[in-house]
Structure 1
Amino acid sequence: MATEKMVELKTDVSHSSLYNPDLAPTSLQERNWGSYNFAALWVSMAHCIPTYMLSSGLIALGMNWKQAIFTITLGNLIVLIPMLLNAHPGTKYGIPFPAFARASFGTLGANIPALLRAGVACGWFGINAFIGGTAVNNFLIALFPAWKNFGGDIIIAGLSLPAMITFIGFLALNILLAYKGMNCIRKFENWAAPLVLVMTFMLLIWIVNEAHGLGPILAEKGKLDTLAKFFPVFVPSLTGMIGFWATLSLNIPDFTRFSKGQKEQMIGQAIGLPPTMTIFSVMGVVISSATVVVFGKAIWDPVDLLLKFSNPLVLAFSLFGIIVATLSVNIAANLVSPANDFSNIAPKRISFKTGVLMTGVFAVLMMPWKLLSDPSVYIFNWLNVYSGFLGPIAAIMIADYFVLRKTELNLEDLYKEQGDYTYSRGVNVMAVIALAVGVGIALIGKIVPSLAWLFNYAWFVGFGASFITYIILMKIASAQEDVAVLEE
Structure 2
Amino acid sequence: MPTFKRPHLKVDQPGSAFADGNQRWTNKDLDPVPRHARKWGVVSFIAYWVSDAFNAATWQFAAGIISVGLGWREAIGIVALAFFIVSFAIPGARESQLGLLGAILAIFWFTIQTMNGGNTVRVMLGAIWPSFLTLENHIPESQGIDTKSMISFFLFWLIQVPFLVMHPNNLRWLFMVKSVVVPIAWIAILVWAFVATDGGGHLFEEKSKIQGSAYSWAFLSSLTSVIGNYATLSVNQADFSSYSRVSVKWQIVYVPFLPIIFTFISFIGIASASAGAERYGILEWDPMALVSHWPSRSCRFFAAFSFALAALGVNISANSLSAANDLTALFPQYVNIRRGQLLCAFLAWALVPWKILASAGSFLNFMSAYAVFLGPIAAIMVFDFYVIHRRRYDTLALYQPHGIYCYWHGVNWRAVLAFLVGVIPNMPGFINSINPNIDVGVGSRPYTFGWLLGFVGTSIVYVGLSKAWAPRETLIERSVGPDEIYDVRGVDDGISIGSGSGEEGLQTAEKGGWKGKLERIL
Q: What TM bracket, shorter-length normalisation?
A: 0.7 to 0.9
Give yes or no for contact 2:371–2:450 (8 Å, CA) kept in 1: yes
For 1:254-403, what aligned pairs fall within 5 Å after superposition?
Answer: 254-263=239-248, 265-267=250-252, 269-270=254-255, 272-379=257-364, 381-403=365-387
Give yes or no for contact 2:51–2:310 (8 Å, CA) kept in 1: yes
Residue 16 of structure 1 deviates from its aligned partner by: 3.3
Partner of 1:210: 196
Q: Which amino acid aligns with 2:449?
A: Y
Q: Which runs of 5+ in 1 are unaligned?
A: 1-8, 90-94, 99-112, 482-488
Whole-angstrom distance in 1 between the partners of 2:272 and 2:149? 26
Partner of 2:128: 143
Q: Which amino acid aligns with 2:117?
A: G
What's the TM-score once normalised by structure 1's chain length?
A: 0.86
Q: CA, structure 1 residues 478+84, in 2 after alignment: closer, same or farther (shift >3 Å)?
A: closer
Give yes or no for contact 2:407–2:471 (8 Å, CA) kept in 1: no
Residue 433 in structure 1 maps to residue 425 in structure 2: no
Residue 174 in structure 1 maps to residue 181 in structure 2: no
Q: CA, structure 1 residues 14+233, in 2 after alignment: closer, same or farther (shift >3 Å)?
A: farther
Equivalent pairs, count: 450
Of 358-367 and 19-28, deviating more is 358-367
Residue 450 of structure 1 deviates from its aligned partner by: 1.2
Partner of 2:83: 76
For 1:461-480, what aligned pairs fall within 5 Å after superposition?
Answer: 461-478=453-470
Whole-angstrom distance in 2 between the partners of 1:367 and 1:10? 42
Whole-angstrom distance in 2 between the partners of 1:11 and 1:446? 40
Q: CA, structure 1 residues 295+229, in 2 after alignment: closer, same or farther (shift >3 Å)?
A: farther
Q: Please, which of 377, 390, 402 is the counterpart of residue 406 of structure 1?
A: 390
Q: CA, structure 1 residues 299+323, in 2 after alignment: closer, same or farther (shift >3 Å)?
A: same
Q: CA, structure 1 residues 262+14, in 2 after alignment: closer, same or farther (shift >3 Å)?
A: farther
Give yes or no for contact 2:385–2:391 (8 Å, CA) kept in 1: yes
Q: Please, which of 49, 65, 68 is the counterpart of residue 56 of structure 2?
A: 49
Whole-angstrom distance in 2 between the partners of 1:298 and 1:233? 20
Partner of 1:37: 44
Q: CA, structure 1 residues 19+480, in 2 after alignment: closer, same or farther (shift >3 Å)?
A: closer
Partner of 1:484: none
Per the alignment, in what secondary structure is the counterpart of residue 171 of structure 2? helix
Give yes or no for contact 1:38–1:265 (8 Å, CA) kept in 2: no
Per the alignment, in what secondary structure is the counterpart of residue 349 of structure 2? helix
Of 51-60 and 159-168, deviating more is 159-168
Residue 186 in structure 1 maps to residue 172 in structure 2: yes
Residue 265 of structure 1 deviates from its aligned partner by: 4.4
Residue 387 of structure 1 deviates from its aligned partner by: 0.8
Of 161-170 and 331-340, deviating more is 161-170
What's the TM-score once normalised by structure 2's chain length?
A: 0.81
Whole-angstrom distance in 1 between the partners of 2:324 and 2:190? 36
Whole-angstrom distance in 2 between the partners of 1:388 and 1:177? 31
Per the alignment, in what secondary structure is the counterpart of residue 258 of structure 1? coil
Q: CA, structure 1 residues 204+478, in 2 after alignment: closer, same or farther (shift >3 Å)?
A: closer
Q: CA, structure 1 residues 135+475, in 2 after alignment: closer, same or farther (shift >3 Å)?
A: same
Of 425-434 and 369-378, deviating more is 425-434
Residue 20 in structure 1 maps to residue 6 in structure 2: no
Whole-angstrom distance in 2 between the partners of 1:162 and 1:365? 19
Residue 150 of structure 1 deviates from its aligned partner by: 4.6
Give yes or no for contact 2:372–2:426 (8 Å, CA) kept in 1: yes
Deviations 1:249-276 (A, max 9, x none): 0000111112223356415534642221
Q: Which amino acid aligns with 1:396?
A: I
Q: Which runs of 5+ in 2 are unaligned?
A: 1-15, 432-439, 474-522
For 1:86-105, what aligned pairs fall within 5 Å after superposition?
Answer: 86=93, 89=94, 95=95, 97-98=96-97
Q: Which amino acid aligns with 2:40?
A: W
Per the alignment, in what secondary structure is the counterpart of residue 406 of structure 2? coil
Whole-angstrom distance in 1 between the partners of 2:471 and 2:393? 20
Partner of 2:476: none
Give yes or no for contact 1:43–1:273 (8 Å, CA) kept in 2: no
Per the alignment, in what secondary structure is the counterpart of residue 273 of structure 1? helix
Give yes or no for contact 1:155–1:161 (8 Å, CA) kept in 2: no
**Relative contact order: is structure 1 or structure 2 higher (C-alpha 8 Å, sep ≥ 6)?**
1
Whole-angstrom distance in 1 between the partners of 2:129 and 2:121? 12
Q: Which amino acid aligns with 1:440?
A: I
Amino-acid identity (%):
31
Give yes or no for contact 1:396–1:431 (8 Å, CA) kept in 2: yes
Give yes or no for contact 1:34–1:264 (8 Å, CA) kept in 2: no
Q: Which amino acid aligns with 1:24?
A: D
Q: CA, structure 1 residues 364+406, in 2 after alignment: closer, same or farther (shift >3 Å)?
A: same
Q: Please, which of 408, 413, 421 is the counterpart of residue 405 of structure 2?
A: 421
Give yes or no for contact 2:92–2:385 (8 Å, CA) kept in 1: no
